[in-house]
Amino acid sequence: MRRSTFLAFIAPSIFMMVFFIAAPLLTVFWQSLHVTKPVFEEVKIEKCSPGFMEQICTTEVTSRPTFDSEGKPIQVTEFVGLNSYREMLQPERVIAALTEEGGSLANVFSIDFYKALRFTLTFTLITLPLVLGLGLALAIAVQNTVKSLRGPIIFVSLLPFIITPVIGALSIRWLFVSDGILSAGLNHLLGYEFSMFAQSWTIEILMMFYRVWHVAPFAFIIFYAGLQSVNQDTLDAAIVDGASRWERTRSVIIPHLMPLIIFVSMVHLMDAYRVFEEVIGFSSEAHVISLQWLTFDLLTPDNTGNRSISRASASSMLTLIGIVVLLIPVLQRTWRDHKRS
C-alpha cells in the first residue's frame, strides 16, 4: 500500500481522535491550571436614620459584581498553577490527620477526595475478578450445554447487560429500600428490621453486586466467542492423558483466552474506575461517593450560581491518572506477550 493511500485511510481516524479526545483533554488540563471568577467592585453605601436633633449616618462598604454594557457579569481568568490540585489533595490536612495524636487513615478518608478514591479503588479491584470469574464460568457452562438450549440461555444471560445502567441501579435500590420486597423478606428472615441503606458497607456491597450482575454478561459473551476457536484436538489429547475438567480449563482454555481476558480487564478497569451510575441510582451521596461523582458535584452550581470548574478539571485529570496507573500492569503484560510472539 502506498503511503498516500495509507494516510488517506487513517486521516479521518486521526482527526476524530484529536478533535474528540486530545483537544478536550488539553482543554480540561488548561482549565485545571486557571480559575475564572467574576470581577467585584467595592461600593460605599451611606445609610441615615432619622434623629431627634440630627440624622445618624453610617457608611458601609460592600462588594458587588461588575457588568458590561450588555448586562453580563465581567469575569477574569487567572493562572493558579497546581493550586487546584492542591485543594483537591489537601496534603497539609492529610499530614495533620496522620501525625496528630489519635491520627489514622480513617481521618484521611473523611476528606472528600480520599473518601471517593478509597471507594473507587475498592469497587474497581473487587469487581474485576468477580466479573472475569463469573463470565468465564458462564461461558464454559453454556459451551458444555446441549446446543438446543444455548440460544435461550445466551438471550437470558445478556438481559442484565441490555438494561440501562441507571434503570438497573434504581431497580436494585427499589428492591432493598425500607419497604422493598427483598428488604421485607430479609427482615422477616433475620427477625429484626435491617436497613441496607443505613450504613456504607451494605450500600457498597449492593453497588458491587449490581456492577457484577450488569457487566458479567459482557465478559461472558466475549469468552464464549473465544471458546469457539479452542483447538478441539488439544482438548481431546488432554482428556486422553487423564486431565480433569479443572486441569483442562487451567492449562488449555485459560491460556487460549488470555488475550480476551486482558481485553475485558482493560475495558472493566476503565469503566469501573469511572463509577457514577451506581452512586446516582442508589442515592448514596451521604455514605459513599466516587471520583466521577465528586467531579459532577464540583460542576453543580451552588446557591450563587458559581461552579468550581478549576477543581472539577483537576479532579478529572486525577481520575485519568488513576486509570492510567491501573492499566500499566495490563499493558505491560500485553507488551510482554507481543514480544514473546
> Whole domain around residue 306: which residue ranges?
113-340
pLDDT tens figures, 71-106: 777 777 888 889 999 999 999 888 888 887 766 778
Phi first, then psi: what are they for 262, rounded to 5°? -65, -40
Radius of gyration of the chain (CA): 28
In a domain, 253, yes or no: yes
56 is a domain residue: no
Q: Is residue 274 part of a domain?
A: yes
pLDDT value at residue 176: 80
List the CATH number of the domain containing 181.
Answer: 1.10.3720.10
Position 47 in a domain = no
From residue 137, give the alpha-carbon distance in Å to each of 19, 100, 113, 249: 41, 49, 36, 10
Q: How many domains does the chain have?
A: 1
**In this structure, what C-alpha cell is assigned to residue 29?**
488540563
Which comes out higher in pLDDT, residue 224 or 49?
Answer: 224
Over residues 129-137, the mean pLDDT reads 94
DSSP assignment of 187-211 = HHHHTS---TTSSHHHHHHHHHHHH
What is the pLDDT at residue 52? 62
The pLDDT of 110-125, averaged and rounded, is 92
Tell me if 26 is assigned to some domain.
Answer: no
C-alpha cell at 134: 463469573
pLDDT class of 43 with cuts at 50, 70, 90: confident
Between CA 106 and CA 280 the distance in angstroms is 24
Whole-model pTM: value is 0.83
Distance of CA 191 to the CA centre of its chain: 36
| Cα distances (angstroms) measured from residue 283 to each of 170, 182, 205, 280, 337 | 9, 18, 14, 5, 43
Torsion over CA of 318, 319, 324 and 329, rounded to 10 degrees? 110
Residues 6+ apart with CB under 8 A from 248: 235, 238, 239
| C-beta neighbour count of 53 within 10 angstroms | 4
- Residue 94 to residue 321: CA distance in whole angstroms: 20
- Residue recorded with cell 453497588: 207
- Domain assignment present for residue 37? The answer is no
Spatial separation of the C-alpha atoms in residues 64 and 41, rounded to whole Å: 6
Read off the pLDDT band of 241 (50, 70, 90).
confident
Residue 71 within a domain: no
pLDDT of residue 245: 82
Domain membership of residue 304 (yes or no) is yes
Burial 194-219, CB ≥16 within 10 A → b, else e: eebbeeeeebbebbbebbbbbbbbbb
